[in-house]
Amino acid sequence: MVVFNYISFILFILFTLTTARFQIGDESNALDGTNNAVHLSKNDLYFLNYKYENYQDAKVDVKLYYECLCQGCIQFDKNQFNPVVQKLNQYLNINLYPYGNAKTIEHDGQYEFKCQHGPPECYGNKLHACAIDYLQNITKAVQFNACMMDYKSNDDAADRCAKSMSLDSSPIKTCAKNERGTQLLKYYGDESKKANFSFVPYILINGKLNSGDNFMEDVCAEFSVPPPPCVDLYSSPEYFHENE
């Protein structure tokens, strides 16, 4: 008899839990106020609705406007942007704009560029643009361009970085030296002017300006259902230590 009561009790608890879960999903109840609102933490949602498909329509939009020889851009790209992109790439919609504070001058239908750090920067920006175009994989392009930033973003850097990723650098260099590179840089110039920034790196997360100081945390904060790399971050000892 005691055993039977015990089993009934367990069944009752299970039934209550199941009903409670049902009510969480029942919007009409929540809206007409007949039920106490159930507040779920991010972690609750994570365990209740854990489905990879959810991320298809919940990608966080990340835009980076930069120029290849600016020191702040190099630091951010190397230490924050590239590591985060490599961890979270499948949950992000990423756009790179390698143009920065350059100027585009048109005469007789030809385009010429003036860059903050001189002609080597214009050429480097073209290499970055051509890498994005050639690789057709933004995760790889971010990795390649972050490597380029470490070595002055010139032809030698392209060779070295391509080698380290088992890629061929010649199509990228050929593009940068020809009309394709000019057209791409012109395009990134037009897009950069639309963004109307006055400093680089200019970082947007879902359209909001970001300082770039805590990029991983700030990107993770945008998800309603944090993907695994963010959950790892929230449960890492460093994270709790920093946020005490």
Ligand X SMILES: *[C@@H]1O[C@H](CO)[C@@H](O)[C@H](O)[C@H]1NC(C)=O
Of the two residues 143 and 182, which places its CB atom closer to ligand X in the complex?
A: 143
Tokens, residue 208: 């909001």
| Alpha-helical runs (H) found in the chain | 2-24, 27-32, 42-48, 71-76, 82-88, 119-135, 138-150, 155-164, 170-177, 179-195, 215-220, 228-234, 237-242
Q: Indicate left, alpha or beta for 109 from its phi (over 0: left) and psi (-120 to 50: alpha).
A: left
- Rounded CA-CA distance 75/12 in Å is 58
Q: Residue 203 Cβ, how far from ligand X at the closest point, in Å?
A: 16
Q: Residue 92 Cβ, how far from ligand X at the closest point, in Å?
A: 12
Of the two residues 53 and 244, which places its CB atom closer to ligand X in the complex?
A: 53
- Characterize the bridge pairing of strands 92-98 and 103-107: unpaired
Q: Residue 197 Cβ, how far from ligand X at the closest point, in Å?
A: 8
Q: Residue 142 Cβ, how far from ligand X at the closest point, in Å?
A: 9
Q: Residue 84 Cβ, how far from ligand X at the closest point, in Å?
A: 14
State the residues that interact with ligand X by CB under 6 A. Answer: 137, 139-140, 196, 198
DSSP single-letter state for residue 36: P
**CA triplet 66, 142, 165: central angle to 5 degrees?**
140
Q: Residue 198 Cβ, how far from ligand X at the closest point, in Å?
A: 5
> Please, which residues bridge with residue 61 across strands?
93
Give the three-class secondary structure for 114: strand
Of the two residues 82 and 182, which places its CB atom closer to ligand X in the complex?
A: 82
Tokens, residue 61: 């939009």
Tokens, residue 201: 């790196």
Of the two residues 49 and 86, which places its CB atom closer to ligand X in the complex?
A: 86
Tokens, residue 104: 């585009």
Of the two residues 13 and 209, which places its CB atom closer to ligand X in the complex?
A: 209
Of the two residues 198 and 243, which places its CB atom closer to ligand X in the complex?
A: 198
